[in-house]
Amino acid sequence: MTDKQLTAEQQVQQFSELLEEYNYQYYVLDAPSVPDAEYDRIFKLLKQLETEHPELLSANSPTQKVGGAALSKFEQVTHQLPMLSLDNVFDSASLDDFMQRVIDKSSLAETAFCIEPKLDGLAASIIYENGLLVQAATRGDGLTGENVTENVKTIANLPLKLRGDNIPAVLEVRGEVFMLKEGFNKLNAGLVAAGEKPFVNPRNAAAGSLRQLDSKVAANRPLAFYCYAVGVFDGDLADSQYQRIEQLKSWGLPVSSEVKRVVGEAACHEFYDSISEKRSSLAYEIDGVVYKVDDISLQEEMGFVSRAPRWATAYKFPAEEAVTTVENVEFQVGRTGAITPVAKLKPVFVGGVTVSNATLHNKDEIERLGILIGDVVVVRRAGDVIPQVARVVVEQRDANKTSEIVFPETCPVCDSKVERIEGEAVTRCTGGLYCEAQRKQAIKHFASRKALDIDGLGDKLVDLLVDHNMIKDPSQLFSLTTQQLSSLPRMGETSAKKLVNSLQVSKKTTLARFLYSLGIREVGETTAANLAKHYKKLPAIQEASIESLKSVSDVGEIVAKHLYYFFRQDHNLEVVNQLCDAGIHWPVIEEVDDSELVLLGKTFVITGSFDAMSRNDIKAALQALGAKVSGSVSKNTNTLVAGSAAGSKLAKATELGIEILDESGVLALLGKTE
Ligand code: IVH
């Protein structure tokens, strides 16, 4: 019995070591010594032994790359050393500048650089203690990431156990999790065959897979890892980046075989050229080249600027471009009413993805490009950014097949008039409260704390109500019944009753809050309060001309126009009336004796800092006396209130001969001095 047990133990050890060696040859050295079938045979034998003798199964066994129990969420991990990012250069002259800075610092013309491909995946930190993989985390914001140990353990080319000599007691390796192009294509083909949505590119696929809560799913994704740096460590490491990479490799860790150590600027440029040529034949995606000072002590001497080292830079490949035809232009309405022209393209493969839409941003961009429907265009895709039309190939324009792009005069979703304010690039739908594209946003704003403050009506519930077609605009909230509400998923009768009650309570509000709740563009709480104070009654605001609106404190040309157009839309007026009919009310604002408003019609600008009162308090006090407080000095300014350290505004006011009050002057004006 004991004999048999011992043999089993020995066998488990022997098979494990064999498989670890085969993995190392295959993944790290890229030189397998046995056929796959032999690997599979040993793997099966080991699995069988481990099933028969569960006590012999170790967490680091080569069979343990299949994932374990699913998690409900990822724990946060604080990085002991922040995970930094890299500065970028986009042309060879800037690369020369970088190298010159390094050479100046080292006073060695022959400074060595470690050059590495810039892998296009996502950064991860992996900690080995006494040679065993104990923790893996995503980069997150650089300071804290997510604990993805279970998923990382399933990455085929990453050892659970290090090999070789002089392994540091603690070793944090940093590197990139990515997906091989081949694996990505197979994965996507499988997803498509199963009727699921394929991933956009290998990077997204890697990110999606690494963030799977179920590590069994991650285990089936063809993820890979290459190390490019060391984080914390307790042990001996070489004092050269390149040698460190070699050391990692000797401990069984995978590194890209493209990493090189070179001396001299010419060699650095050559590397970029040769890898650019090789790029499409590499097994994985790269988006540039990383140049690092090789000498670790020079790295330490050079240090960091904000979040990136001074001793490294990434030379990014130019964005990828392709030529195709604009088949049509459609107009999309965003959540805030912005109307965006989108070019519908003849599908074209750019930078690893098929592109059939490209944003044209706005009218100005259409004019800048001089683009017509039917044009042949160059589309550009840089990283994850939405594809853009870079330029029109005018030489290939066929007058018979092209037509002008006509911007709609009314919203393609709700048919309200569109507005484009001078000086603004964006064209917008004015149907705010009514437009389906803006519906959810409008209702969420309406219910928010500074608006009607409807307790218990959160964003998720608004989504549900709209998705279930229970409300189309905010006024319909008030006719919802307990019965209707409790028919919603995860909504009990008690919560439903509570909500009906808080809707009831929210009806009593103020004119300022009500105005703010309408979500008129650029009408924030202060502007709403100023409008309420100025006009006192809703109809007066609705009927006000642009000129009249502009006389209100905080209201400039643009805000005045937003207000004016909003109240000229029948759809919006309808909703406002329905809200009032639903019983929303506010106390009447008392008439203020005009004789108290000694600063009525005067425009003030406040600049600099003050001791006795804050800037906001001075502003409020001036407004209470009827003054308008504006942000910039112009010929319409009557008085500049200048505290200490006043700068350009003071200079401008002096130049324009505007009255200037210092702190004691304004305190006297406000009657705040004895
Ligand atoms: S070194 C202190 N080396 O690029 C410098 N980063 O833009 C830390 N990346 O978050 C990064 N290949 O995800 C380094 N050979 C390489 C890299 C590389 C890809 C990524 C990494 C990092 C990002 C910074």
Same-domain check for residues 189 and 262: yes
Task: Check whether 3 has a pLDDT greater than 50.
Answer: no
Same-domain check for residues 575 and 599: no
With a Cβ cut-off of 6 Å, ligand 1 is lined by 84-86, 116, 118-119, 123, 139, 176, 228-229, 290, 309, 312, 314
Q: Say which DSSP state 284 is in.
A: S
| Position 137 in a domain | yes
pLDDT of the residue at 420: 85
| Strand partners for 606 | 641
Across the range 346-368, mean pLDDT stands at 86
Across the range 367-389, mean pLDDT stands at 84
The model's pLDDT over 451-472, given as tens digits with 9 standing for 90+, comes to 999 999 988 899 899 989 899 8
Same-domain check for residues 172 and 137: yes
C-alpha dist (Å) from residue 91 to 94, 111, 593: 6, 21, 67
Across the range 573-581, mean pLDDT stands at 93
Same-domain check for residues 234 and 158: yes
Task: Check whether 19 has a pLDDT greater than 70.
Answer: yes
| Position 408 in a domain | no
254 — pLDDT class (breaks 50, 70, 90) = very high
Task: Check whether 145 has a pLDDT greater than 60.
Answer: yes
Tally the domains of the chain.
Answer: 5
pLDDT of the residue at 6: 61
Name the residue of 86, 177, 285, 296 to mutate for ligand 1: max ligand atoms within 8 A of Cβ. 86
By the 8 A CB rule, do 326 and 341 touch?
A: no
| Position 407 in a domain | no
Dihedral class, residue 188 (left if φ above 0, else alpha if ψ from -120 to 50, else beta): alpha
Residue 326 belongs to what domain range?
321-401
| Position 424 in a domain | no
Task: Check whether 384 has a pLDDT greater than 60.
Answer: no
By the 8 A CB rule, do 493 and 481 touch?
A: no
| Position 426 in a domain | no
593 — pLDDT class (breaks 50, 70, 90) = low
Same-domain check for residues 549 and 604: no
Task: State the chain's mean pLDDT as an integer.
Answer: 90
68 — pLDDT class (breaks 50, 70, 90) = confident
Same-domain check for residues 570 and 661: no
Does the predicted TM-score (pTM) go above 0.85?
Answer: no
What is the phi/psi pair of residue 27, to 5°? Answer: -90, -35
The model's pLDDT over 191-244, given as tens digits with 9 standing for 90+, comes to 877 777 778 778 889 999 999 999 999 999 999 999 999 999 999 999 999 999
Distance 256 CA to ligand 1 centre (A): 13
Task: Check whether 620 has a pLDDT greater than 90.
Answer: no
Residue whose CA is closest, atom 24 of ligand 1?
A: 85
Q: Domain of 30: which CATH number?
A: 1.10.287.610
- In angstroms, the CA 343 to CA 182 distance is 31
| Position 587 in a domain | no
Per DSSP bridges, beta strands 88-89 and 312-316 are parallel
Same-domain check for residues 160 and 197: yes
Same-domain check for residues 94 and 234: yes
Question: Can you give the length of the chain in residues?
Answer: 674
Task: Check whether 427 has a pLDDT greater than 80.
Answer: yes
Note if 118 is an active site residue: yes
Same-domain check for residues 571 and 444: yes
Task: Check whether 2 has a pLDDT greater than 60.
Answer: no
Percent of the chain predicted with pLDDT > 90: 63
Domain edge (last residue) among 581, 616, 638: 581
Q: Which among 450, 513, 517 is positioned nearest to 477, based on CA atoms? A: 517
Q: Domain of 554: which CATH number?
A: 1.10.150.20
Which one has a higher pLDDT value, 670 or 224? 224
| Position 19 in a domain | yes
Domain edge (last residue) among 316, 333, 352: 316
Residue whose CA is closest, atom 18 of ligand 1?
A: 118
Across the range 122-136, mean pLDDT stands at 97
**From 433-437, 464-468, 472-476, the region with the lowest mean pLDDT:** 433-437
Same-domain check for residues 566 and 654: no
Across the range 344-364, mean pLDDT stands at 87
At position 305, the amino acid (one-letter code) is V
Distance 227 CA to ligand 1 centre (A): 10
Same-domain check for residues 55 and 101: no
By the 8 A CB rule, do 227 and 175 touch?
A: yes
Angle of CA points 498, 500, 504, to nearest 5°: 110
Distance 80 CA to ligand 1 centre (A): 18
Distance 85 CA to ligand 1 centre (A): 6
What is the phi/psi pair of residue 119, to 5°? Answer: -75, 140
- State whether the Cα torsion 365-370-376-378 is positive or negative: negative
Domain edge (last residue) among 256, 282, 316: 316
| Position 77 in a domain | no
Same-domain check for residues 509 and 630: no
Q: Domain of 362: which CATH number?
A: 2.40.50.140
Task: Check whether 296 has a pLDDT greater than 80.
Answer: yes
253 — pLDDT class (breaks 50, 70, 90) = very high
Beta strands in 306-439 (DSSP E): 308-309, 312-316, 320-333, 338-350, 353-359, 376-381, 388-392, 418-419, 427-429
